[in-house]
Amino acid sequence: MISPLFGDAQYQAFKTTLDAAAARHKALAGNIANINTPGYQRQDISPVFQQELQKAIESGDTEKIQSLKPQVEKDLTAPALRMDGNTVNLEREMVEMAKNSTQYEVSATFLAKHLANLRTAITGK
């Protein structure tokens, strides 16, 4: 009975996007925290996850969207900018964190509105 309320593809897409943004924020914060750690490899959400999420959203496959879990992994494309092998670029991390924060806010706003609409439908207020 409750699954139709929370089972639509759009709701699931925003929920999964919110989960991914939270995991990405943690990875980006870890990168910044390790900016002076010799040999540290930058981490981010798997690009495969992003591609799979986009495909699932475009197809409207709710079960596929629900099954996707963001995976943080080393960013093997990030070049070492220093002699110690650290691949963290502070400017890049700050830009990515700002973009990620915006994505998180959009997803959170959508979910909050969805839940407010449900509350209104249930209580009439």
Residue with tokens 């699932």: 56
Show the tokens assigned to 48. Answer: 């495969």
* Residue 83 reports pLDDT greater than 90: yes
Interval 15-43: pLDDT, tens: 899 999 999 999 999 999 999 999 999 99
- pLDDT higher than threshold 70 for residue 3: no
74 beta partners? 43
Tell me the CA distances in angstroms from 102 to 6, 25, 45, 61, one per residue in order: 23, 11, 16, 25
Q: What tokens does 75 get?
A: 């960013």
Cβ(68)–Cβ(49) under 8 Å? yes
d(CA 89, CA 104) in angstroms, rounded, equals 22
Give residue 6's pLDDT band: very low, low, confident or very high (50, 70, 90). Answer: low
